[in-house]
């Protein structure tokens, strides 16, 4: 049985806890590996070594740190196919989708090559007689990243690029469900020239997370996962004086106006709703057609598209549209919510409950589901299902559709499909959601903008990647200096203007 260990001080380490967790092949339901689970002592030792290594790394000039990022870009491109195969085998997503996972993380490493520019401070001379003022951006020290199963390459890279390029040491606690790719990334960082100990990958469960939160050495925590855990980590981090950036769940709406291109909208909904088996925080899970005529026409176009979806293992290559969900428990939870939707009166237009794949009967596959006439009081509307289930909520007017997105407790992403510029502009301006798509179903910003949700989708003041990431992983120090040259002044006992 393959063993996935921690990555400590530049090499694999089994740890001392003796505890492990199963790593499944979601397509077959079989255990393919064991991953070590850290004890508090394991985590504390990794943090202590990271603190030692950070001193020299933080003193390394930004240009040299950026060169490590430049080399990392080449290495990720070199090993992308190999990493994508491992990612697919542990997560279940298709091979092209796995490569996309890595690619979107790679783009943040590319952005991090610009660290010397992002870390520049400000300067003004002659702020007063003989007085200059300037600011410096300095690393925090040791920071932690706690990342989810659904993007085992992208989100670690979103955290690692800006944090490392800023001069910090990082403790990465990835999901124990698909732990191998984070170790592969750590090995590539070492090959790229990152000093030993600056990046520590420590696998674990709640014991490891709590050890991070209790540590007096760790200065900041970045998290992506469910909303209850995001809020837990944010509150615990704040209580111990840590900077925190925690992103939670979502219930992303797509409004379809009567003037929209319905073929384009239907294609967008199928890709955004069912890609990666719906296990995306930016997946569209609620379609909101405006007007009964629009709704009827949209359902008519959605049904044949959804019924033609090909579900299968990643080894089938381009012949499948999406693969299994990550665990048996996830599959059971999705199907339970589908049953609840039927019981509460939603119309199940496409029923995937009996889906089975010959030869993969023990895999964690879920067929596609389409609900119509869903109402906001139903569990399938209120709950983040995180599976291949699309709910349709019919709205009588644009204002009703906007209100649905506005009133929902989540605020990660939303989209509107329309040919009318005034409507699109009004929607983007008014809706209280962090990322907006106009005729774009999954509006994930590119690396040089920031990614982040509002309301219960995000806790903290600064977002992921883009300039916000460098602000999050650094402190600003402001210096006021004067070099007296014949200036004679007595003691000052009050604030006064420098001029």
- Distance, in Å, from the CA atom of 85 to the CA atom of 179, rounded to the nearest integer, reads 13
For residue 349, the Cα-to-chain-centroid distance in whole angstroms is: 31
Please write down the HEC assignment for all residues of 240-281: CCCEEEEECCCCEEEEECCCCCHHHHHHHHHHHHHHHHHCCC
Tell how far CA 260 is from the center of its chain: 30
Query: Tokens in use for 297?
Result: 């026409």
Residue whose tokens read 């990271």: 50
Report residue 123: phi and psi, to 5°: -150, 140
Residue 239 to residues 38, 215, 236, 244: CA-CA distances in angstroms?
Answer: 23, 12, 5, 11
Tell me the two tokens of residue 84: 């994508």
Ranges of beta strands (E only) in 26-163 are 30-37, 123-128, 131-139, 142-146
Cα distances (angstroms) measured from residue 81 to each of 84, 96, 153, 414: 5, 10, 13, 32
User: Which one is catalytic: 281, 295, 395, 431?
Assistant: 281
DSSP reduced 3-state for 455: strand
Q: How far apart are CA 385 and CA 366, in angstroms?
A: 12
| Catalytic-residue membership of 281 | yes
**Helix, strand, or coil (residue 391):** strand
Pairing between β-strand 6-8 and β-strand 11-13 as defined by DSSP bridges: antiparallel
Q: Strands 131-139 and 369-372, how do they pair? A: unpaired
H and E: helices and strands count for the chain = 15, 23
Backbone angles phi, psi at 330, to 5 degrees: -65, -45
How many whole angstroms separate alpha carbon 457 and alpha carbon 248? 5
| Residue burial 226-245, b: 16+ Cβ < 10 Å; e: rest | bbebbebbbebbeeeebbbb
* CA distance linking residue 408 with residue 414, whole number of Å: 11
Residues marked active site are found at: 281
């Amino acid at each position: 049985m393959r063993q996935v260990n921690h990555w400590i001080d530049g090499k694999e380490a089994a740890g001392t806890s003796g505890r492990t967790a199963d790593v499944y092949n979601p397509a077959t339901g079989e255990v393919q590996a064991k991953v070590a689970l850290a004890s508090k002592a394991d985590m504390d030792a990794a943090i202590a070594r990271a603190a030692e290594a950070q001193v020299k790394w933080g003193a390394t000039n930004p240009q040299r740190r950026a060169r490590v990022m430049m080399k990392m870009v080449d290495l990720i491109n070199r090993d992308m196919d190999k990493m994508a195969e491992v990612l697919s085998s542990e997560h279940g997503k298709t091979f092209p989708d796995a490569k996309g996972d890595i690619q979107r993380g790679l783009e943040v490493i590319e952005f991090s090559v610009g660290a010397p520019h992002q870390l520049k401070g400000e300067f003004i001379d002659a702020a007063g007689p003989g007085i200059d003022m300037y600011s410096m951006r300095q690393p925090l020290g040791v920071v932690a990243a706690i990342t989810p199963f659904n993007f085992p390459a992208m989100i670690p890279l979103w955290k690692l690029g800006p944090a490392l390029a800023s001069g910090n040491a990082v403790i990465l606690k990835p999901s124990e469900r698909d732990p191998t790719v984070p170790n592969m990334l750590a090995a590539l960082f070492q090959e790229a020239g990152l000093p030993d100990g600056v990046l520590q990958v420590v696998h674990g469960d709640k014991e490891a997370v709590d050890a991070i939160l209790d540590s007096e050495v760790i200065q900041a925590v970045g998290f992506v996962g469910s909303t209850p855990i995001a809020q837990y980590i944010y509150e615990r981090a704040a209580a111990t004086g840590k900077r925190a950036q925690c992103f939670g769940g979502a219930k992303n709406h797509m409004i379809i106006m009567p003037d929209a291109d319905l073929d384009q909208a239907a294609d967008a909904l199928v890709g955004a709703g069912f890609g990666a088996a719906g296990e995306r925080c930016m997946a569209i899970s609620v379609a909101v057609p405006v007007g009964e005529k629009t709704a009827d026409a949209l359902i008519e176009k959605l049904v044949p598209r959804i019924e033609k979806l090909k579900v299968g293992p990643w080894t089938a290559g381009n012949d499948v549209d999406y693969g299994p969900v990550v665990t048996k428990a996830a599959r059971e939870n999705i199907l339970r919510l589908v049953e609840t939707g039927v019981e509460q009166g939603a119309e199940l237009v496409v029923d995937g409950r009996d889906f089975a794949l010959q030869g993969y009967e023990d895999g964690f596959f879920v067929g596609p589901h389409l609900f119509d006439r869903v109402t906001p009081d139903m569990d399938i509307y209120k709950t983040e299902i995180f599976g291949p289930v699309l709910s349709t909520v019919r709205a009588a007017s644009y204002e009703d559709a906007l209100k649905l997105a506005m009133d929902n407790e989540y605020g990660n992403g939303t989209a509107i499909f329309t040919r009318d510029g005034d409507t699109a502009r009004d929607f983007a301006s008014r809706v209280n959601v962090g990322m907006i798509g106009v005729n774009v179903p999954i509006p994930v910003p590119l690396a040089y903008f920031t990614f982040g949700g509002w309301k219960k989708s995000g806790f903290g003041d600064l977002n992921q990647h883009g300039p916000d990431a460098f602000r999050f992983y650094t402190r600003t120090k402001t210096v006021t200096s004067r070099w007296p040259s014949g200036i004679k002044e007595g003691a000052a006992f009050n604030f006064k203007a420098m001029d």
